[in-house]
Amino acid sequence: MKQFFKNVFASAFGVLIGVAILFTIGTFALMAMIANSSGESEYKPKNNTVFKLVLDGSIVENNVSNPFLELFGEKEPLSLSRILRSIRLAKESENIKGIYLETNNTSSSPATLTAIRNALSEFKESGKFIISYADTYSQGGYYVASVADSVFVNPIGGVFMTGLASVGIFHSGLTDKLGIEYNIFKVGTFKGAVEPYYLKKYSDANREQITSYQQSIWKNLTSAILKSRSISREDFDRFVNEGLFFDDAQKTVEMKLTDGVRYRYEVENSVKLIAEQDVNEKLIAADVNKMSRVKDKKQIKKDKIAILYAEGIIAESSSLYSMDELVINEDLIGEFRKLIKDDEIKAVVFRVNSPGGSAYISEQIWKQVIELKKTKPVVVSMGTYAASGGYYISCGASKIVAEPTTLTGSIGVFGVFPNMTGLFDKVGLSTDVVKTNPLADLGNVSRPMTENEKAILQAYVERTYDLFLSRCAEGRKMTKEAIDTIGQGRVWTGEQALEKGLVDKLGGINTAVEEAAALAEIEDYSVIAYNSNKDFFTKLLESKLDEMKISIIKNMLGKQFEAFRVLSSNRPLTGIQARMPVELEGI
């Protein structure tokens, strides 16, 4: 027995030693990764270097490098702010000869891609070249690539221009079978976010608004392509509508969509020759990570314009949205409070990229915009979305700037409350309630709502909508009646919103900075990203563990992950919401 305990003790001690060693190694590895992520050195491009801009995967507004993603085989999302900065620095650098652009698998919104395309157009003003190549061009990828001097495609590739689509998933049939009923409370004829709960297809009003903003976006994208490539509308429409994107790659040359069919190495050799590099040597190139570390020639000035980012769903906490969705919550309020007290900040560009969410948090952030505006100008720069709650937090700004393809408006409110009586009956569950007052169990999912409860909640939603109208009317200097006419939950593109008076000007974040400077009456200033300078370790503690969790799920589900994500995004939205009804697909 004594020997048995000795063996057990030795084994346990060995395990503890092993765990200690692994912990120590892990700690040093973590410290190394943190050091690498936070201590990036300045990059100095060699003479005749080419900026290789690879647009692959999703693009977010702003992010901090996360080395843990590589452990799970995941790529970090590209950052729009870093891409735009890299393009500008490449334009200014004497050692950068041009851009070699690859847009194989880019997946992003029209507004984001427009910002990149416009930056590339400005880059061309320097006289430097842009050469584009892809095995296969997606619609968004080709939209960006069409600005290049030359566009090449793989011999068995193509340009997949098919048009835009918005695909809605309606689960009312499923919930009927499960015995779940949803009580819907809303204001807004066009507020389609609740339609999946009680319809089996888009309502006529929702179909009308989707068709309207799809056509506006498609016209903006294709007009830019036709202008850059000198293609007639008739020929382009024939290519799209007749499915010629499935034809031989040479057809893209005949239709003037591309300049030639090439293999990647052939295009790279051409780039080397134009950049005066040795064609027999490896391409001397710098990616976004390197270019973003090029020393900026602009000196930091005392007067500053701050860019405050708000990206994602508006919610009380990030735990409500676990499937790789960014979240805007009350943490943003602290950034506003600091901006109010910062005397070096003369104006603020509030970069909003949100389809909306919680009406409660939207009201909290709106108030901070109003308070900040008392001390300095606040100009909203709208990204992909600034709709519903996203417009709520924008409407109080000094001025609003949107991309032509931004989706905004959607001024409306809704609430969703489930009744699971049928499901409980099916599975044999029963409940009982003891209460002191008639409304003590309001929202109890195990019983139907009374007519009185429904009336109370509908009145509450209508008061919230009335407050939304008041906020918009005050901010836009319009009457509530005028806002209601263009409200009712209807989504507008930035181009349409300008006509309706919901925004002041079309343009990207640089346009918003210029507007902010003019309002602050300053000419000599620096632009800083105000809430994007947290180090990796802080970001890790706040949110990166969620990314690690998502990476594990992606690896487990493989190709099925996207379907899982779509289903997850259609989860019930309980409570009072100000959220956009549907997302745009096809880019």
> In sequence order, what are the residues at sequence separation of 6 or more whose Cβ sits closer than 8 angstroms to the Cβ of residue 20?
none
* Residue 442 exposed, middle or buried by CB count within 10 Å (0-12, 13-18, 19+): middle
Q: At what angle do helices 545-557 and 561-569 cross, to 10 degrees?
A: 120
Distance between CA atoms of residues 163 and 165, nearest Å? 7
Tokens found for residue 473: 């009317």
Strand order in the sheet with 49-54: 260-261, 150-153, 129-134, 96-102, 49-54, 285-286
Tokens found for residue 149: 């001097």
3-state secondary structure of 32: helix
Task: Return left, alpha or beta for 356; rule: phi > 0 is left, psi -120 to 50 is alpha, else beta.
Answer: left
Half-sphere exposure of 558 (CA within 13 A, CB side): 1
Angstrom CA distances, 562 to 133, 295, 452, stand at 27, 39, 42
Distance between CA atoms of residues 98 and 126, nearest Å? 10
Half-sphere exposure of 539 (CA within 13 A, CB side): 20
Half-sphere exposure of 427 (CA within 13 A, CB side): 11
User: DSSP letter string over 118-183?
Assistant: HHHHHHHTTT-EEEEEESSB-HHHHHHHTTSSEEEE-TT--B-----B------HHHHHHHT-EEE
Under 8 Å between Cβ of 424 and 446: yes
Helix or strand (DSSP H, E) at 306: strand 304-311
Cα angle for residues 130, 64, 32 (degrees, 5° grid): 110
Q: Among 93, 166, 388, 398, which one carries the catalytic annotation?
A: 388
500 labelled catalytic: no
Tokens found for residue 565: 């994500």
Tokens found for residue 574: 């309980």
Distance between CA atoms of residues 174 and 179, nearest Å? 9
Tokens found for residue 196: 């999946």
Q: Among 52, 91, 97, 191, which one carries the catalytic annotation?
A: 191
Nearest CA to 351 out of 401, 313, 414 is that of 401
6 labelled catalytic: no
Catalytic residue list: 191, 388
